[in-house]
Amino acid sequence: MFVYADHAATTEMSPVAIEKMTDALKTVWGNPSSLHTVGQEAKVVLEKAREEIAAVLGAEPREITFTSGGSESDNQAILSAVALGAAKGKKHIVSTKFEHHAVLHTLQKLEKQGYEVTYLDVHQNGIVAAEDVAAAIRPDTALVTVMFANNEIGTIQPVREIGAVCRQAGVLFHTDAVQAVGHLPINVRDDNIDLLSLSAHKFHGPKGIGVLYARRGVRLSSLIEGGAQERGKRAGTENIPAIVGMAAALTEAAENMEANTAKVTAMREKLIRGLRGIPYAHLNGDRTRRVPGTVNFCFEGIEGESLLLLLDAKGISASSGSACTSGSLDPSHVLLALGLPHEVAHGSLRLSIDETNTDAEVDYMIRSVEEVVSYLRRMSPVWEDLENGKRKHFFAEYESEEK
């Protein structure tokens, strides 16, 4: 059986999006900056896609800037807010310990340039408290940046509350919503969001295209200088086919969100119940406040990369936060932020499903993970020590369902 369970990494393109995109490749090849008819026809298509995307987010079309994806949007959002703050002498940023590296690395670079960053705790359940944000804001705070949903463990942050706190304090609020858009209902007005990043390939759109939403009045700084495209905030001839594909995929995701959420949540619950049947397994992140499809577990006594490779041999595509899969020596900063020790964080597994998965696939995944975990434990000296009491277990043998 082949099971793709890495939708948080990327998704297969929607057939509707492929059709619209290939159609645009063939027929909409004009440069929207050209004044002639071919160019202006392309401009019409571009602006229609912008309107579609704005409508889904509850934004105005002029608040939508097309970028190359989530990373670029995160970079531009942060650097823009920082530039606006610097003009008023504000050099402090509030964020969290478990942001995506597109945010964290940008913040680390700013720290070297003399900015100060407060990284908020995400607690054991992987959720930032809005009160913590309120307490961290200072008179010199230029920006609060907190992700909408975490990419590794799937926990949803109280974005609306955090946004309200920021509004009251008069501080800009950015959210990296790459894992949320297309999967959770988002309205930038109701959710008090000033800046939002999204990436098309996380909701069955094409890769290499994304959006930076910036509320009217929030002046963006450009990262790429050149032409006057995107109101002068992002130079470079627009990738119209990709933009059309993104708009189609987002519209489709929004239309089907309710049905997809019901289906995916039911499968996720079954997956969680099944994997909890494995002894000394632990669900990472809040039990219920999570995106429909993302499940992240730690299994004591084993290492994540070998787990991944053996699951791959069984036809299952998954992901892990182990050091060996990241190419670094430390396990995932997200799992460490939850307070897990290194040796436990090495044994993590992320399964991210969506509406294209089936119940039978969920059963197969549970069975396969059980088999592989017990196989690896049989050859693990760490598991041997856990069994004979030389090492202490970190988790309970079985987690209670209500937790």
Residues in contact with other proteins by the rule CB under 8 A:
301-306, 309-310, 313, 322-325, 327, 329, 331, 341-343, 346, 379-384, 391
What's at 77, amino acid-wise?
Answer: A
Any catalytic annotation for residue 298? no
Phi and psi at 147, nearest 5°, equal: -65, 155
User: Least CB distance from residue 381 to other proteins, whole Å?
Assistant: 4
The nearer residue to other proteins, 241 or 301, going by C-beta atoms, is: 301
Residue 354 contacts residue 266 (beta carbons within 8 Å)? no
CA atoms within 13 A on the CB side of 197: 28
Residue 216 contacts residue 63 (beta carbons within 8 Å)? yes
Sign for the CA dihedral angle at 59, 244, 259, 196 comes to: negative
User: What residue has token string 């955090």?
Assistant: 162
Residue 214 contacts residue 220 (beta carbons within 8 Å)? yes
The nearer residue to other proteins, 18 or 382, going by C-beta atoms, is: 382
CB atoms under 10 Å from CB of 344, counted, come to 23
User: Least CB distance from residue 338 to other proteins, whole Å?
Assistant: 16
Which residues are CB-contacts of 387 (< 8 A; sequence separation ≥ 6)? none
The nearer residue to other proteins, 83 or 379, going by C-beta atoms, is: 379
The nearer residue to other proteins, 291 or 302, going by C-beta atoms, is: 302
The nearer residue to other proteins, 136 or 324, going by C-beta atoms, is: 324
The nearer residue to other proteins, 80 or 306, going by C-beta atoms, is: 306
User: Least CB distance from residue 392 to other proteins, whole Å?
Assistant: 12
**Which class for 62: exposed (0-12), middle (13-18), buried (19 or more C-beta within 10 A)?**
exposed
Residue 200 contacts residue 207 (beta carbons within 8 Å)? yes
What's at 217, amino acid-wise?
Answer: G
Residue 162 contacts residue 180 (beta carbons within 8 Å)? no
Residue 350 contacts residue 320 (beta carbons within 8 Å)? yes
* H or E segment to which residue 89 belongs: none
Tokens describing residue 400: 């209670």
What's at 394, amino acid-wise?
Answer: F
Query: Which of 9, 324, 336, 382 is labelled catalytic?
Result: 324
User: Least CB distance from residue 382 to other proteins, whole Å?
Assistant: 4
The nearer residue to other proteins, 295 or 340, going by C-beta atoms, is: 340
Residue 242 contacts residue 209 (beta carbons within 8 Å)? yes
How far apart CA 157 and CA 123 sit, in angstroms, is 12
Which residues are known catalytic residues? 324
